[in-house]
Structure 1
Amino acid sequence: MKATTTTLATETFTTPAQLLKHWQLHRNLTRKIINNFPEDKLFSYSVGGMRPFAELAMEFIGMAVPTLTGIITEKWEKFKHEEAPVTKQELLDLWDEQTEIINTLWPKIPAERFNDVVLAFGQWEMPVYLLVLYVVENEIHHRGQGYVYLRSLGIEPTPFYERD
């Protein structure tokens, strides 16, 4: 007699916890790329008129916590930081601080909220899960610039698959 397998249909592809883990693995890799930069190049070096990597990292920082805060509160406020980091260590410290805030805010988002459509920052209308993926994809996209910068400096960056 032939065995049969029954699969339960589900609409859930991933869970909020899995999505956070995916994002945090990308954040871990981006942190490594920040750390790969020499101090004197992180804030000044660019290729082809693109922004220095520290500016890109500040863009990631400027999107992450404000996006989660907006998802939770419906108040879409831009990131406010009194003084921009001027050293690699200050940038890494801010990165780590923001990572902890993300970990604190994430559990405040109910699972059903991820399907709600929001108008983020008055310009991006999409379901919450796509908004979170947009933030992650933006980081991945610009992290690629960091790879180009590092290689043009003769520095081998952390491999893209080393996320933890």
Structure 2
Amino acid sequence: MRRPETIIICYVSHARWNTMVESIADYAKWSLTNHLKVLRKMICLVPDDKIQFRPTPEQKSVSEIVHHVLSATQTHIFAVRDGVGRQEHSTVKGMDPGTLKSTSELLAHMDGVSDTVGRVMGEITPEQLDAAITYTQWNDYTVDARRSLLFFIEELIHHRGQISVYLRLLGIAPPHLYDYS
């Protein structure tokens, strides 16, 4: 017998909504510090000769995954800052993941992007968080700024787990996913 579906309607006051919006921005800032810290610990464990490791030919290498995470983080934070998403937001200057030869090179790019996006995130205003963001590089896909921030956090967490699996495939014990020390 099929159970009737229940619809729950939730009313959130304007003041409560503003608090939630600010909380998303705070969580994004926290993620930049903490989730990236764990990803950095993982990358430090990758030997130089494994920076281009990929479990199968179709999958991204370690350096390509990190490039993707940095690109996604930068794309969404810059879009919130500028009020529009542009293709150039995804360019991690000076980084070609296919040519990296060492963990230290990858970490240098990671640290540079982390510093930049951390600074930009710290300058985002409540008004910018209230805006709708149109991503011109994705057929004018439009989403609210808060959701843009959640996109980069989801990408960061997802790919952090992927790097953890890669480490295990390399016979390396990854750091605990939630070791933010």
TM class by shorter chain equals 0.7 to 0.9
How far is the alpha carbon of 1:21 from its aligned partner? Answer: 1.3
Identity %: 22
**Given the alignment, which residue of 152, 155, 158 partners 2:169?**
152
Q: How does 1:14-93 map to 2 (within 5 A)?
A: 14=23, 16-47=25-56, 49-73=58-82, 74=84, 76=86, 77=88, 78-84=90-96, 85-93=100-108
Task: Provide the rounded CA distance (Å) in 2 between the counterparts of 1:69 and 1:87.
Answer: 28
SS at match of 1:125: strand
How far is the alpha carbon of 1:160 from its aligned partner? Answer: 0.7
Q: For the Cα contact (< 8 Å) 2:46–2:167, is it kept in 1?
A: yes
117-126 vs 142-151, which moves further: 117-126
Partner of 1:112: 127
Q: How does 1:95-134 map to 2 (within 5 A)?
A: 95-123=110-138, 124-134=141-151
Partner of 2:6: none
How far is the alpha carbon of 1:15 from its aligned partner? Answer: 5.5
Q: For the Cα contact (< 8 Å) 1:34–1:54, is it kept in 2?
A: no
Task: Provide the rounded CA distance (Å) in 2 between the counterparts of 1:121 and 1:53.
Answer: 28
Task: Provide the rounded CA distance (Å) in 2 between the counterparts of 1:119 and 1:137.
Answer: 19
97-106 vs 58-67, which moves further: 58-67
Q: Structure 1: where are the runs of 5+ without partners?
A: 1-8
Q: For the Cα contact (< 8 Å) 1:47–1:149, is it kept in 2?
A: no
SS at match of 1:119: strand
**Given the alignment, which residue of 16, 19, 24 partners 1:10?**
16
TM-score, length-scaled by structure 2: 0.76
Partner of 1:143: 160
SS at match of 2:137: coil
The 1:128/1:101 distance shift into structure 2, 3 A limit, reads: same
Please give the per-residue CA displacement for 1:78-118, whole angstroms capped at 9, x wherever unaligned. 31423423311011011111111112211321123223221
How far is the alpha carbon of 1:49 from its aligned partner? Answer: 3.4
Q: Structure 2: where are the runs of 5+ without partners?
A: 1-14
Cα RMSD, aligned residues only: 2.1
Q: For the Cα contact (< 8 Å) 2:161–2:177, is it kept in 1?
A: no
SS at match of 2:178: coil
TM-score, length-scaled by structure 1: 0.83
Report how many aligned residue pairs link the two structures. 156
Task: Provide the rounded CA distance (Å) in 2 between the counterparts of 1:48 and 1:70.
Answer: 32
